[in-house]
Amino acid sequence: MSALSFSFPTPILFGPGSVRELPRLLRSLGIKRPLVVTDPGLLTTDAFRLLTEALMPGRQDQHWFIFSEVHPNPHEEDVHKAADTFLRTQSDGVIAFGGGSALDVGKACRLRVKQAAIVLEDFPGDKDWSGLAPCIAIPTTAGTGSEVGRSAVITLEKTRRKTILFHASLLPQQVILDPELTLGLPAKLTAATGADALTHCIESFTCPSFHPLCDGIALEGIHLIRHALPRAVRDGDDIEARGNMLIAASMGAIAFQKDLGVVHALAHPLSTICGVHHGLANALMLVAGMTFNAERKPGIYRRVGIACGLDTFRVTPAEADDVTIGFIERFLAEIGINTRLSDHGVTEGHLDALVTQAFDDPCHRTNVVSVSKEDLLTLYKARL
């Protein structure tokens, strides 16, 4: 076995009200003129009000700026416009605030701030990107875990496909996980983002790459989600459940430095082609993807079942998979995700484009078993 490197470097401040520590953290990073990168829907929320109060405690002068044009599935143009705003306002750091889209744009715009001529389609991941503007990531959803990720997922203007910008320098210098910022999240969005975190944990655990540290994190993330997500969906003011979901989402993203699998390869095109929310797309394809894997590698989900609190000890490998997959299907239905692709505007006319993009997506290459174009088509058809 060749030498491997394990790293979990992101400082995380967790707890209700922790966003009030933002001024101190900005000072510690030397940020005096931060640019808040967010989406327009957040500007009228209590979460944004809490951020504003933290940035201006008892002061009338404003030394921070806002870029709020991030799309739900972020475009390359979002990155360029955020960087332009950063330069125009002479900002010296980024506060990435919101869901995964805002976090990804906030992280990625720093690349263009450093190198104006960068072409995201040909992102030079082997380049030295040290010295990027400092970034504090503050998620308002519990799903993508982008706050602790080394990557940003951006839809390119030229190809209309998602690309993954990956570099260790994209990691934020500080993360704030404040469950109070997620209290206003609607039940449907709570469910979809939570299902995203669950998919991250399951797919990273079954990814065949050797990373036992991430395996342990993924399994504990599944355990937290199994108990916290239904509570957060039923009662959006359950601060303990909200906090556990924020932690679990970050754990899922830490774990998937191992890589992901076929479910994500199927989900990414559903967002770019059909506009399906990424977390919902993962949820819609999760059971089908797990069934496909289990048929080819029985027993792969035994420990996932144990993390869910199931008795998968005294059964055959195939039975352990059946019990676990059945539980996941019921779990998704319990949080309100029991629909099909056709319920979200996906038709047979989309299939060719979906399969082409899914096969080009790198995620299926790290799936626990190999996947063909024909397999991808069968999986989509099974969920129409």
Specify the CATH number for the domain of residue 370: 1.20.1090.10
In a domain, 352, yes or no: yes
CA 58, distance to chain mean position in Å, is 34
DSSP letters for 50-106: HHHHHHSTT------EEE----SS-BHHHHHHHHHHHHHTT--EEEEEESHHHHHHH
Q: Which pLDDT score, from 0 to 100, does residue 59 have?
A: 52
Residues 275-314: tens digit of each pLDDT: 999 999 999 999 999 999 999 999 999 999 999 999 999 9
**Of 165, 182, 199, the domain-final residue:** 182
Nearest to 38 by CA among 112, 105, 86, 136: 105
How does strand 135-139 pair with strand 34-37?
Answer: unpaired
In a domain, 7, yes or no: no
- Let me know whether 336 and 211 are in one domain: yes
In a domain, 2, yes or no: no
Q: Which pLDDT score, from 0 to 100, does residue 61 have?
A: 52
- Let me know whether 83 and 232 are in one domain: no
In a domain, 157, yes or no: yes
**Of 157, 182, 207, the domain-final residue:** 182
CA 353, distance to chain mean position in Å, is 24
- Let me know whether 350 and 320 are in one domain: yes
- Let me know whether 151 and 135 are in one domain: yes
Residue written as token pair 């001024």: 23
Quote the percentage of the chain above a pLDDT of 90.
Answer: 83
**Of 143, 161, 182, the domain-final residue:** 182
Task: Tell me the C-alpha distance between 187 and 367, whole Å.
Answer: 30
pTM of the model: 0.93
Q: Look up the domain containing 285 and give its range.
A: 187-383
In a domain, 378, yes or no: yes
Residues 52-72: tens digit of each pLDDT: 999 986 554 558 999 999 998
81 and 67 Cβ atoms separated by less than 8 Å: yes
CATH number where 123 lies: 3.40.50.1970
- Let me know whether 130 and 197 are in one domain: no
pLDDT tens by residue, the chain, 384 residues: 567 677 778 999 999 999 999 999 999 999 999 999 999 999 999 999 999 999 986 554 558 999 999 998 898 999 999 999 999 999 999 999 999 999 999 999 999 999 887 778 777 667 778 889 999 999 999 999 999 998 888 888 877 878 888 888 999 999 999 999 999 899 999 999 999 999 999 999 999 999 999 999 999 999 999 999 999 999 999 999 999 999 999 999 999 989 999 999 999 999 999 999 999 999 999 999 999 999 999 999 999 999 999 999 999 999 999 999 999 999 999 999 999 999 999 999 999 999 999 999 999 999 999 999 999 999 999 999
Q: How many distinct structural domains can be found in the chain?
A: 2
Name residue 135's beta-bridge partners: 94
Span between the terminal Cα atoms of the chain, in Å: 42
- Let me know whether 138 and 98 are in one domain: yes
Q: Which pLDDT score, from 0 to 100, does residue 84 have?
A: 96
Average pLDDT, the chain: 93
In a domain, 165, yes or no: yes
Strand intervals (E) in the chain? 12-14, 34-37, 65-67, 93-98, 135-139, 151-155, 162-166, 174-177
| Joined tokens for residue 37 | 């990168």
